[in-house]
Amino acid sequence: MPTYIRIEDGRARLAEDAFSHVADDIADLETGGVILSLARFEAEGDRLISEGRRVGVRLASDEQVEALAYDLPRISLVALDFPKFRDGRAYTNARLLRERLGFKGEVRAVGDVLREQAGFMLRVGFDAFEPADGSNAQEWDAALRRYRHVYQRAADGRAPAFAERER
Amino acid sequence: MYQYDTIDKAMLEDRAAEFRGQVARRLAGEITEDQFKPIRLMNGLYLQLHAYMLRVAIPYGTLNPTQLRKLAWIARTYDKGYGHFTTRTNLQFHWIKLADTPEILDQLASVDLHAIQTSGNCIRNVTSDPYAGATAEELDDPRVWAEAMRQWSTFHPEFSFLPRKFKIAITAAPKDRTAAKVHDIGLVLRRARDGALGFEVMVGGGLGRTPYVGPTIREFLPANRLFSYLEAILRVYNRHGRRDNAFKARIKILVAALGKEEFARQVEAEWAKIGDSTDLPDTELARIRGAFAPKSFETLPARSEAFETAKAADPAFARFVRNNVKPHKKPGYAIVDVSLKAIGDTPGDASAEQMEVVADLAERYGQGDVRVTHEQNLVLPHVKLDDLPVVHAALAAAGLATPNINLISDIIACPGLDYCALANARAIPIAQHIAEKFRDQERAERVGELKIKISGCINACGHHHVGHIGILGVDKKGEEFYQLTLGGSGAEDATVGQILGPALPYDRVADAVDTLVDVYLRERQGDERFLDTFRRTGTAPFKEAVYADVH
């Protein structure tokens, strides 16, 4: 099981993962929540949800969140994949999920997820992480609060410098 | 000048503290060089041929004397006593020890300097007009917008892992001193007929392997909508720019592949969805604008007797004035170009002592303002005509008064094979050989404006594509050869140069440049520059002369 870190009450904590990642070629699903690829979700999502299962969708970095626009109310979580930490497309996907599509469920970072990216991820709306660098919740918590200020408006609602200056 | 407030300072302190922890993890062996590489690159630290290189950002090329003295101190304390000013108006230290870098970043932060986003696939240091706030030509002070973009782009959560690096230039003068048209985004301030301020937006210019002059995708963007529009451009690029091949990942490739109309359409569609929620409030722009408010210039007569007397008495001073002194918007003041192109030296290098001389002069005679140009020189933008003789004497004593701005020896050269792991060939000694050939300043002035730009490899850090004469180092069976291109320009008349013919061996390059100049002097009509003559005649007479010698 990968380490699963969630933001709860503003802190990064080690959490129990109620979902399992399901590869496209696995026929028998475990009990509990499942995270499916977009293709599998499109094929089987309706049925699984109607059976009462909690379903999440994992988007590859070249897939766009707009594809999920009409399904979001039924989806428990969206996992956004970083095939390499350098592939920054998931930052845009996360931000649009929160800001444009109004998604309130979990947005989870999966793949090549490093604690050096923690601050950026939190700002665009990720609230759950599966680190690939062996880092723990304490290290994530420290990384998330590294910077006392930010310069831009983003999906986390933090007041940017220009707003702080007006106070 | 903009003064960092407690928020700006806290950002730098937090970054320096973060990097200190990361270096400690590396030095303790907790992370490998492979894992450390992306971390150090986010802090401007490269591993070069001989040592680490630290690239310090000089936001929009503006420095105060305290900062310049700190750079001199770092050069002396942690490097070999000098630094290298780059075409991005940054400063590179080429001989840095990893273990010293946390302390260097702390020292930089103490004077509001840093190495943030000087490498990596993020938005890099914004280039602006080195004459900003001093030239009468400008519509507005571009530093206001450059500083706002510095803040907006710093640790941008969505755009710090772009397909490739991203460079923005902004100018407000018709004479472009920023190479705006060969940037990922070039912004030129414009006024609408009703007087409203806005930007012409050019996207997808660039050099490297595939040079492009950036097409205009919007003739007029209202100034207060800049940040939402930038966000739209960056978002389209972040989503659709190629990530499968680093050589095709710059935005210029996306713009060329889609065509400028389709690219512009996608940007406009995204912009419409964004709305104005991410535009900077007018109050913040006003705050930044206040920081760049005109200096307290004295009311002076346009004519200075001290200046005129010195000019008449001292031919060297008169020559310096002809080439390195430009008109200022205020009577009795001038803009002074400080040449880092002394004949025989490395273009763009400055010793710690030279940095201190410039810092002292800026403090005493220049309203505490120093600029770095993308052509690797420095500028004292506000000097009284009365003070010019003494400023010239002090610069001359420090080897900083070479009267060659825009002349043939004012060469841009990348570090080349002397430092860089990517280079195919040396660039610096080629620049030195050419400068030596035109040591005679009389002759150099007769030749007039001639921009030579030299790159040691196809990555084009020396901007050879946009040199009036461009020189590109190539490797032929392990030997250094050089391909010449003619007719390029990075200015408002931006053009990519044309290849002259087969590459020349190392020891033939300076002679070939000499030959090109002779052809120009023979063919020139009226007051044509080299570039104008070339544009009229084409390559034929130049090619004939250069390759005639070969046979």
If asked whether residues B390 and B512 sit together in one domain, one would say no
Beta-carbon separation of A86 and B161 below 8 A: yes
- Cα B431 to Cα A123, B409, B434: the distances in Å are 47, 8, 5
If asked whether residues B371 and B441 sit together in one domain, one would say no
Per-chain mean pLDDT for chain B: 95
pLDDT digits (tens, 9 = 90+) for B192-207: 999 999 999 999 999 9
The CATH number covering residue B49 comes to: 3.90.480.20
Residue B150 has what pLDDT?
A: 98
Confidence of residue A30 (pLDDT cuts 50, 70, 90): confident
Average pLDDT of the residues in A105-115: 96
The CATH number covering residue B437 comes to: 3.30.413.10
Average pLDDT of the residues in B347-375: 97
Distance CA A82, CA A129 (A): 11
Average pLDDT of the residues in B375-399: 98
Number of domains observed in the structure of chain B: 4
- The enclosing H or E element of B168 equals strand B168-171
Average pLDDT of the residues in B235-251: 97
Confidence of residue B133 (pLDDT cuts 50, 70, 90): very high
pLDDT digits (tens, 9 = 90+) for B478-523: 999 999 999 999 999 999 999 999 999 999 999 999 999 999 999 9
If asked whether residues B393 and B422 sit together in one domain, one would say no
Residue A20 has what pLDDT?
A: 95
Q: Which of B34-38, B226-230, B326-330, B457-461 has the lowest mean pLDDT?
A: B34-38
Predicted structure pTM score: 0.96
The pairs formed by B44-47 with CB atoms below 8 angstroms and a separation of 24 or more are: B44/B115, B44/B116, B44/B117, B44/B118, B44/B119, B45/B96, B45/B98, B45/B101, B45/B115, B45/B119, B46/B119, B47/B421
Confidence of residue B30 (pLDDT cuts 50, 70, 90): confident
Could you tell me which residues come within 8 angstroms of residue B331 by beta carbon, excluding any fewer than 6 positions away?
B299, B300, B301, B302
From A155, which residue of chain B is nearest by alpha-carbon distance? B157
The DSSP letter of residue B344 is: T
| Percent of the residues in chain B that have a pLDDT greater than 90, as a whole number | 92
If asked whether residues B442 and B326 sit together in one domain, one would say no
The DSSP letter of residue A62 is: T
If asked whether residues B103 and B167 sit together in one domain, one would say no
Residue A13 has what pLDDT?
A: 96
| Percent of the residues in chain A that have a pLDDT greater than 90, as a whole number | 90
- Residue where a domain stops, chosen among B342, B372, B397: B397
If asked whether residues B433 and B542 sit together in one domain, one would say yes
SS3 assignment, position B191: strand
Contacts of B284 in chain A (CB under 8 A): 162, 165-166
B147 assigned to some structural domain = yes
Confidence of residue B251 (pLDDT cuts 50, 70, 90): very high
Average pLDDT of the residues in B98-106: 94
B68 assigned to some structural domain = yes
Tell me, what's the ipTM? 0.97
Confidence of residue B551 (pLDDT cuts 50, 70, 90): low
B402 assigned to some structural domain = no
**Residue B106 reports pLDDT greater than 80:** yes
Pick A149's closest partner by Cβ from B10, B38, B273: B10
3-class SS letters over B8-60: HHHHHHHHHHHHHHHHHHHHCCCCCHHHHHHHHHCCCEEECCCCEEEEEECHH
Structure tokens at A135: 């880092």
Distance CA B360, CA B97 (A): 29
If asked whether residues B210 and B358 sit together in one domain, one would say no
- Cα B533 to Cα B179, B407, B528: the distances in Å are 21, 16, 6
If asked whether residues B75 and B140 sit together in one domain, one would say no
Contacts of A151 in chain B (CB under 8 A): 11, 151-152, 154-156
If asked whether residues B235 and B151 sit together in one domain, one would say yes
- Residue where a domain stops, chosen among B235, B268, B291: B291
B250 assigned to some structural domain = yes
Distance CA A128, CA A138 (A): 14
Domain range annotation of chain A: 5-164
If asked whether residues B236 and B199 sit together in one domain, one would say yes
Segments forming the whole domain that contains residue B496: 412-548
- The answer to whether the CB of A14 falls within 8 A of the CB of A27 is no
If asked whether residues B496 and B526 sit together in one domain, one would say yes
Query: For testing the chain A interface, which of B158, B224, B273, B282 should be mutated: the one with the most A CBs within 10 Å?
Result: B158
Residue A2 has what pLDDT?
A: 79
Distance CA B539, CA B542 (A): 5
Average pLDDT of the residues in B91-101: 93
B436 assigned to some structural domain = yes
**Residue B549 reports pLDDT greater than 70:** no
If asked whether residues B279 and B419 sit together in one domain, one would say no
| Phi then psi dihedrals of residue B489, to 5 deg | -150, 140
Residue A26 has what pLDDT?
A: 87
Distance CA A54, CA A49 (A): 6
Specify the fold of A5-164. TIM Barrel (3.20.20)
Contacts of A153 in chain B (CB under 8 A): 277-278
Tell me the residues of B at the A interface, defined by beta carbons under 8 Å apart: 5, 7-8, 10-11, 14-15, 17-18, 22, 35, 38-39, 42, 121, 151-152, 154-162, 235, 238-239, 243, 273, 277-278, 280-281, 283-284, 287
Q: Identify the residue whose tokens are 């931000």.
A: A95
pLDDT digits (tens, 9 = 90+) for B262-289: 999 999 999 999 999 899 999 999 999 9
**Residue A47 reports pLDDT greater than 60:** yes
Residue B324 has what pLDDT?
A: 98
Average pLDDT of the residues in B103-116: 96
- The answer to whether the CB of B145 falls within 8 A of the CB of B226 is yes
Sign of the torsion angle spanned by Cα atoms A143, A145, A146, A150? positive
| Phi then psi dihedrals of residue A161, to 5 deg | -50, -45
Average pLDDT of the residues in B41-45: 88
Confidence of residue B32 (pLDDT cuts 50, 70, 90): confident
Beta-carbon separation of B287 and A165 below 8 A: yes
